[in-house]
Structure 1
């Protein structure tokens, strides 16, 4: 009875701790020229998942596919990843040195751009724990794997949502430009018709005037 109660308590404790076993951050920001973010990773060997999507550029009259640059540096300042001129990217890396990692974005286009940025750190905390009961080990391992799988699904969903937002904004901008183009073309046709009518009336008036003389 005591062992069963101990096992149940341990299981409930792990379930309560599961939401706190991961370190994740997602942010949507507007970049002018350069923006840098810092993210602390507590354990060497953790897997860091990173994604970003350029949602839109503040240029309603110009269609642009300009991307941004992303440089990732470890706590000692060494560059560990470099992404150039991309509107979206998704990657992961293994932490070689624990500590604060820096993620610096650079925008080389003349327009402000809205970027969706997501960082997720995968860590199996049960590696640093010592279970008194050998039967708890496999249980902890399965819970940790399930937790990691759930966070990976959430990370992937965030990436897809950002891509969907970007495509919706692009479609809206293209539709708006098509409407504006149609309005301009219609206005041009109306103006050309008015000019033609005016010229024809002047021509007839001149002919009538010359015939009367």
Structure 2
């Protein structure tokens, strides 16, 4: 009987581990990418007091009247808690990554402010860490299931952290790619303008020399 109980417990641990891993892989952290004119606000639910909130954003590009001008410009960000109190603020930053501990559960508000005349494309990501219960907060009757569930929750939080960092790095890569393309286009346009200016100077020199020769020829005939 004791051997059967151990095998049954081991089977349940395997099932819980598989289910936990499936939930971790199925629920991936999701960021959003949006275009801001003057102001954009988003809300995110924090389910428990004391949860750890991680935030990142990257200004991918700026939409100006010139098609080759995509250099990103900084934004302001203000984070407010459920009671309307300010939790965090950023000023004129092209990119930022920070975290804070939510003192109270509820809706947290994230407002971006664009003080420039150009539209900005922004990649924004928020991740709320799961509230992992310990033995003092909640007692689980099965002493074998409790540590396993704690391990699954810790693993899930670690994977979310990795996905959060990957999203941040991908946004930075997109930003740098757009900046590099814009710089390449500027170099091409600059070379074209220089070539046109050189051609204009050459044509002007030919016209001036022709007029000078015609003037001298007229004077010699007189």
TM-score by length of 2: 0.87
Any residues of structure 2 matched to 1:124-143 within 5 Å, and which?
A: 124-127=131-134, 130-143=139-152
Contact kept, 8 Å, 2:61 with 2:72, in 1: the verdict is: no
Contact kept, 8 Å, 1:22 with 1:123, in 2: the verdict is: no
1:8 to 8, 11, 14: 11
How many equivalent residue pairs? 213
CA distance in 1 between counterparts of 2:50 and 2:131 reads 10
| Structure 2: unaligned runs, 5 residues or longer | none
Poorly superposed stretches of 4+, deviation over 3 Å: 20-25, 60-65, 124-130
Using the TM superposition, give the Cα deviation of residue 51 of structure 1 relative to its aligned residue in structure 2, in angstroms. 0.2
Contact kept, 8 Å, 1:50 with 1:90, in 2: the verdict is: yes
Are residue 208 (structure 1) and residue 217 (structure 2) matched? Answer: yes
Are residue 32 (structure 1) and residue 32 (structure 2) matched? Answer: no
State the match for 1:89 in structure 2.
Answer: 96
Using the TM superposition, give the Cα deviation of residue 141 of structure 1 relative to its aligned residue in structure 2, in angstroms. 2.0
Using the TM superposition, give the Cα deviation of residue 208 of structure 1 relative to its aligned residue in structure 2, in angstroms. 1.6
Using the TM superposition, give the Cα deviation of residue 9 of structure 1 relative to its aligned residue in structure 2, in angstroms. 2.5
Using the TM superposition, give the Cα deviation of residue 164 of structure 1 relative to its aligned residue in structure 2, in angstroms. 0.8
State the match for 1:198 in structure 2.
Answer: 207
Q: Which moved more, 1:125-134 or 1:184-193?
A: 125-134
Using the TM superposition, give the Cα deviation of residue 12 of structure 1 relative to its aligned residue in structure 2, in angstroms. 1.9
Change (3 A) 1:125 1:23: farther
Any residues of structure 2 matched to 1:179-198 within 5 Å, and which?
A: 179-198=188-207
Are residue 122 (structure 1) and residue 129 (structure 2) matched? Answer: yes
Contact kept, 8 Å, 1:22 with 1:122, in 2: the verdict is: no
Q: Which moved more, 1:32-41 or 1:143-152?
A: 143-152
Contact kept, 8 Å, 2:13 with 2:148, in 1: the verdict is: no
| Structure 1: unaligned runs, 5 residues or longer | none
Q: Which moved more, 1:89-98 or 1:65-74?
A: 65-74
CA distance in 2 between counterparts of 1:124 and 1:8 reads 27
Using the TM superposition, give the Cα deviation of residue 132 of structure 1 relative to its aligned residue in structure 2, in angstroms. 2.0
Contact kept, 8 Å, 1:23 with 1:121, in 2: the verdict is: no
State the match for 1:56 in structure 2.
Answer: 61
Change (3 A) 1:23 1:94: farther
**Pairwise CA RMSD of aligned residues?**
2.2
State the match for 1:112 in structure 2.
Answer: 119
